[in-house]
Amino acid sequence: MSDSSRRAPGGRPGNTILVVYLVFFFAFLFLPILMAVESSFNADRFVGLPWKGFTLAWYRGVLETPDLLPSLQRSVIVGLAVATTSVTLGFLGAYALTRVSFPGKDAYVMAVISPIAVPWVLLGLGFVIYFDSIGIPRSLWAVWISHTVFAAPLALVLIRTRIAAIPPSYQAAARDLGASPLRAIIEVVLPLSAPALIAAFLVTFTLSFDEFILAWFVSGFDITLPVQIWTMIRTGLTPTVSAIGVIIFAISISLTVASELLLQRHSNT
C-alpha cells in the first residue's frame, strides 16, 4: 500500500473540517457584502429579501440624492491631499530611517508608527480638543491633518521595505559619476521606489476615502462621503444607500488590489 493510500483515511476528517471552516469563514466575511449587492439590484423598495426583480433604479437614484456628489467631491479632494502628503512624508522618513543610523532608532520607529495602533475614537476626540485649543476650525483642513497622522506612518512602512532593498552602492555609483546627493536620490532611489510609492498612494487614498470616525469628529459642515452616508442611514436604510455602498466597495477593492499587485511586483524584483 502506498503512503498516499495510508494517509488518505486519516487526512479526510482534517480536510472536511478545513473545508467547513473556510465555508463559514467566507460566508461570515462576504454575506453582508452580498446582501448589500442584492438589495442594490432588487426591485423591492425595502432592503433585504425576498427578491422581486432586477432594477438599476437605485443606482440612478444615487445621482439624484441631495448633497451626495458634493460630499463625494470632498472625499476625493481630501483623499488625494492625504495620499500626496503621506507619500511625501513617508518617503522622506523611510529614506532617513534606512540610510541613517542613530541611537534609539527602533524606539523612534515605534513612536512614528504608533498612531496606527491608537483607537480612532480616542484619536478623534484628541484632535477635537487639540484643534479647538489652537484655533483650527472643523473643516476639510482638519480632516486632511487628521487622516495624514495615521496614513503617513503606513506609507512609511510600505516605502521603507522597498528602499531597504535598494543597495546603497547604486547611489554611490551615481555619486562617482558626478551626481549630487539630491540628484542621486531623484534619479536612482525614486525610480526604483516607484511601485512602492504608487502602492502607498493608493492605500492611503483608500483609507482616507473610506474613513468615517475622524471625519465625523472634525469635518464640521463640510462633511465627507462616509459621514454623508451615515447621515442618510439615520433616516432609514434604503436600497439607494446599498447602491452607494456597492460603488464605494468596488472603488476601494479595486485600489486595494492594484496596490497589492504593485507591492508583489516590486517584491519580486
CA distance 39 to 51: 8
Q: Residues 128-149: what's their mean pLDDT?
A: 91
76 and 191 together in one domain: yes
45 and 79 together in one domain: no
pTM of the model: 0.78
CA distance 253 to 37: 14
**Domain end (from 55, 77, 98):** 55
CA distance 242 to 35: 9
Q: Which of 40, 22, 23 is nearest to 250 (CA)?
A: 40
- Say whether pLDDT at 33 is over 60: yes
Distance between start and end Cα atoms, the chain: 45
In this prediction, residue 201 has a pLDDT band, given cuts at 50, 70 and 90, of: very high
23 and 64 together in one domain: no
The CATH number covering residue 256 comes to 1.10.3720.10
- Say whether pLDDT at 163 is over 80: yes
Position 23, amino acid: V
186 and 141 together in one domain: yes
Sign of the CA dihedral with 149 first, then 150, 155, and 156 last: positive
Q: Residues 121-146: what's their mean pLDDT?
A: 90
16 and 78 together in one domain: no
67 and 37 together in one domain: no
Total domains in the fold of the chain = 2
- Domain containing residue 218: 60-267
Q: Residues 198-211: what's their mean pLDDT?
A: 90
